[in-house]
Amino acid sequence: MTGEAQLSERNTVVTERMSLRIVSLLLLVAVFSVFVLWSVNPVGSGSESTIALFLAVDLIAVAMISYIDRAVSREGRISRAALIAGCFFIGLLVVGALYLVG
């Protein structure tokens, strides 16, 4: 195996490991949001906004998981900008939702 091929394989392995960790974190966020979803009062504009924000978080997490799988399996690399943007929005929405809970 040439050095270039070895490097490529190593990169793919690193990408896969990284993606597995990110996906695990995204699933954790999703589970957390479902827990919050069941623990707030379903009637009332404030709590409805909290639920809506967590639902948006879940949807972004789903989109990211799907993107990671597609990118790793087809292209062998993930766009760092897309990951950062996704995580940023998730963070923003979680903070917004927790602010509303508070």
Partner 1 sequence: MADTTEVPPREEKIGLMARALGWFDSRLGLSYQLLRPAPQYSINPFYWLGALATVAFVIQAVTGGIMMLYYVPDPTQAYATTQYIFRSVSYGTFLETIHLYTAYAMIMLAFMHLMRGYFVSVHKKPRELMWVTGMVMGFVTLGFGFTGYLLPWTIVSKSATDVGIGMMGALPQPLASFITFLVVGSGSDAGELLRFYDLHVFVLPAVLLVLLVVKMYMLEAHGVSEPSSGLGSLSQKKRKLIPIFPDVSFYLVELAALFGSAVILVSVIFPLSLPPEYSAAIAGQYVSQPDWYFLWIYQILKVSAFEQAGLPVALTAVTLIFAALVVLPFIDRGKVRNIRERMVYITLGAIFVAEVAVLAVWGYLTPGEAIPDETAALVLGGTALLVTLCSLVAYKLVFGGLRRLARGKSPNDGLASKPPMGATPASPRAAGAWIAGMFVGLLVAGAFFTGNSIADVVALGLGASTALPSLAISLTGLALVVVGTMFLIYRLDLATGSIRRRVRVFELGWKG
Which residues bind to partner 1, rule: CB under 8 A? 16, 20, 23, 42-43, 45, 48-49, 51-53, 55-57, 59-60, 62-63, 66-67, 69-70, 73-74, 89, 93
Residue with Cβ nearer partner 1 (7 or 62): 62
> Which tokens go with 67?
């993107």
Closest approach, Cβ 11 to partner 1, in A, equals 15
The answer for residues whose C-beta is within 8 angstroms of residue 26's C-beta and 6 or more apart is: 61, 64, 65, 90
The answer for residues whose C-beta is within 8 angstroms of residue 18's C-beta and 6 or more apart is: 78
Residue with Cβ nearer partner 1 (16 or 87): 16
Closest approach, Cβ 23 to partner 1, in A, equals 7
Residue with tokens 């996906």: 23
Residue with Cβ nearer partner 1 (36 or 53): 53
What angle, rounded to 10 degrees, do the helices at 45-70 and 3-39 form? 160
Closest approach, Cβ 70 to partner 1, in A, equals 5
